[in-house]
Amino acid sequence: MPPHTDRIDLGDGHTAEWEGWYPDRELNPQLAGIPDVDRWGLVIFHKNPAGQDCAGFVTLDGEVQRRVEPNRANRWTVESWDPLTLSPSVLCSCGDHGFIREGRWVRA
């Protein structure tokens, strides 16, 4: 079972939640031997420029992620887990653009 994850307040109208990866290995036997990942990626909740709720997702650059999705173009490196710092910046399809640095949202 995935652990409960709390909403992280990044400030500046941005919050986030960790998303884990827990595949059903009976349905996906090719994944046998590949471990679960509690922090596969981060969902970032914010408002789009029109003021409506929006959410983006970043996949972290981890060993399992590289193995399962070798062709993924975009990955984010964790510079620090606590407080959280990711690189590079995060650009949502809605145009919202910023950095997560030391646990805070910093507009680009």
Tell the smallest beta-carbon distance from residue 52 to Zn ion (Å).
9
Place of tokens 């408002």: 47
Q: What amino acid is encoded at 23 in this protein?
A: P
- Of 10, 37, 58, 96, the one binding Zn ion (CB under 5 A) is 96
Please say whether the beta carbons of 68 and 42 come within 8 A.
no
- Of 31, 43, 94, 106, the one binding Zn ion (CB under 5 A) is 94
Tell the smallest beta-carbon distance from residue 53 to Zn ion (Å).
9
Rounded to 10 degrees, what is the CA torsion of 69, 58, 43, 101?
140
Site for Zn ion in 39-58 (CB under 5 A): 48, 54
Tell the smallest beta-carbon distance from residue 31 to Zn ion (Å).
30
Which residues in this chain contact Zn ion in the complex, by CB under 5 A?
48, 54, 92, 94, 96
